[in-house]
Amino acid sequence: MSAAIDAPVFAQGRPFFEMVMSFLAATIGMGPVFDPANPLKLSPQSIAWYRGIVRPHLLIDMNQVHHQCISGGLSAETAVKALCCMLLNSAYEVAKPHKDTSPEFELFRHLRNAASHRNQFTFTSREPARPAAWNRLTIDDSLKGAANPLSGIECVGATVSPADVLALLHDIESRLP
């Protein structure tokens, strides 16, 4: 088995480690959930029990989850995009106390905002306010609001991929204490 080229490595104990590893574990484990052959042998009797504090006996019907996934209610692509958006939001909140006005952090801020707006870039009349760029991705800060070419465009999927999100987070994390 060959190693991935330039794959970012997130170190245990660093700010994004738990979030990124949870994202990767969730996406790696998605295959059987979206497999119509049902390798997990999910059935109406397959439930997950979560011990709640407010609702002590919350049960999740795992067969219903599997059915929604294989019937098209949720596609694997949509699930990965949603997980990326959650990752961007969580990571941004961790990094926010250390934010600066660098083009990389500005791009991170715009990705996080898009993630919070149904995975679509949404700019107020004064945004983008500063230069935003990372690697080959640049957001034109001279065009504001709806006039910006990214306005209304899908973020994760059309503009960046899950791999791009991980690489950006690795670069941002390297700047954090």
At position 119, the amino acid (one-letter code) is: N
CA distances from 93 to 7, 36, 44, 112, 141 (A): 24, 37, 38, 9, 23
Cα–Cα distance, 152 to 148 (Å, whole number): 9
The model's pTM is: 0.91
CA distances from 39 to 18, 168, 177 (A): 28, 34, 43
Task: Specify the pLDDT at position 63.
Answer: 87
Mean pLDDT by 10 residues, the chain (177 residues): 68 97 96 94 82 84 90 96 98 96 97 98 97 97 97 98 97 95
Question: Given CA atoms 139, 140, 144, 150 in this order, what sign does their dihedral have?
Answer: negative
pLDDT of residue 4: 57
